[in-house]
Amino acid sequence: MSPSTRREFGDLEIGAVVAKAEPKITRDDLVRYAGASVDLNPIHYNDVTAAEVGLPGVLAHGMLTAALALEVVVEWIGDPTAVISYETRFTRPVVVDAVDGATLSISAKVARLDPAERTARIDLTVSYEGRTVLGKTQAQVRFAS
């Protein structure tokens, strides 16, 4: 979105898909996120450790997956301060292949509008390999007057 594009509350319709993205997560991303978040659990970067604890492979951090989903809303709205709440549930892990990584599919849809508060609830669908990995993922955004 260009900096001059401004989203307007009055332009929204319930059910409208307002944004889509397919971010790719790589093993390098996992290492960078581990360092930034100080979540150094080796299941997020070591195949042997992941296998030893019975996992199908190295897993993306749940909070990284949640952040990538919210980024879609932030990029669409154009102002991170417009997001007034965000919630999600982790439903399935995202296995990040050493060579191919993992590509998420994210779709953001208008679910509720509150004209008095000038807020919109944006529901996000987040999947990997055709299966939902985050559930009840919702961002509440407030529009300027």
Domain count, the chain: 1
**Per-residue pLDDT tens digits for 4-28:** 467 899 999 999 999 999 999 999 9
Asked whether residue 121 is assigned to any structural domain, the reply reads: yes
Which structural domain, as residue segments, surrounds residue 110? 15-24+61-142
Asked whether residue 117 is assigned to any structural domain, the reply reads: yes
- The phi-psi region of residue 80 (left if phi > 0; otherwise alpha if psi is between -120 and 50; otherwise beta) is alpha
For helices 27-37 and 62-77, give the axis angle rounded to 10 degrees.
90
Structure tokens at 43: 């299941």
| Cβ(118)–Cβ(142) below 8 Å | yes
3-class SS of residue 115? coil
Task: Give the model's pLDDT for residue 115.
Answer: 97
Q: What CATH number is associated with residue 75? A: 3.10.129.10
Asked whether residue 30 is assigned to any structural domain, the reply reads: no
Q: What span, in angstroms and rounded, lies between the C-alpha atoms of 40 and 30?
A: 10
Q: In degrees rounded to 5, what are phi and psi of residue 111?
A: -110, -30
Asked whether residue 54 is assigned to any structural domain, the reply reads: no
Residue-averaged pLDDT of the chain: 95
| Cβ(120)–Cβ(16) below 8 Å | no
Taking the alpha carbons of 114, 143, 109, 93 in that order, is the dihedral positive or negative?
A: negative
Provide the pLDDT confidence category of residue 1 given band limits of 50, 70 and 90. Answer: very low
Asked whether residue 111 is assigned to any structural domain, the reply reads: yes
> Between these two residues, 28 and 145, which has the higher pLDDT value?
28
**Per-residue pLDDT tens digits for 24-82:** 999 999 999 999 999 999 999 999 999 999 999 999 999 999 999 999 999 999 999 99
Task: Give the model's pLDDT for residue 26.
Answer: 98
Provide the pLDDT confidence category of residue 145 given band limits of 50, 70 and 90. Answer: confident
Query: Is the pLDDT reported for residue 3 higher than 80?
Result: no
Asked whether residue 102 is assigned to any structural domain, the reply reads: yes
